[in-house]
Structure 1
Amino acid sequence: MPHADTLTVVHHDDTRTRFQNVRYRLHRDGIRIWTADGEHLVTDVLMTEAYRQRAQD
């Protein structure tokens, strides 16, 4: 399951929902997101943008 420091969900009406420090799973009906606040299911998804910063070696 992928991890993202910042996950932005772009909805069909071009609004955006941003999540911090999450795990997520894309599926046919949308995206399931796990945060410290609990689990979220977003079904109105046009696009996602996930960023993860890694420590430099």
Structure 2
Amino acid sequence: MPHADTLTVVHHDDTRTRFKDVRYELHRDGIRIWSAEGEHLVTDILMTQAYRQRATAG
């Protein structure tokens, strides 16, 4: 299950919902998101953007 530090969901009406520090699963019918606030199911998705910050080795 992918992890994202920041996940942005762009809805069909061009509004955006942002989540921080989440795990998520993409499905044909939408995206299921687990965050500190609980579980979310979003079905009106136009696009998603997930970012993961990783510490550099060295």
TM-score, normalised with respect to structure 1: 0.99
- Which protein is bigger by CA-based radius of gyration? 2
Identity of aligned residues (%): 84
- SS of aligned partner of 1:33: strand
Q: Which blocks of at least 5 consecutive residues in structure 2 are unaligned?
A: none
Moved over 3 A (4+): none
Say which structure is richer in strand. 2
- SS of aligned partner of 2:26: strand
> Where do 1:1-57 residues align within 5 Å?
1-57=1-57
- Mapped to 1, the partners of 2:21 and 2:3 lie a distance apart of 7
Q: Which blocks of at least 5 consecutive residues in structure 1 are unaligned?
A: none
Paired positions, count: 57
TM-score, normalised with respect to structure 2: 0.97
- SS of aligned partner of 1:5: strand
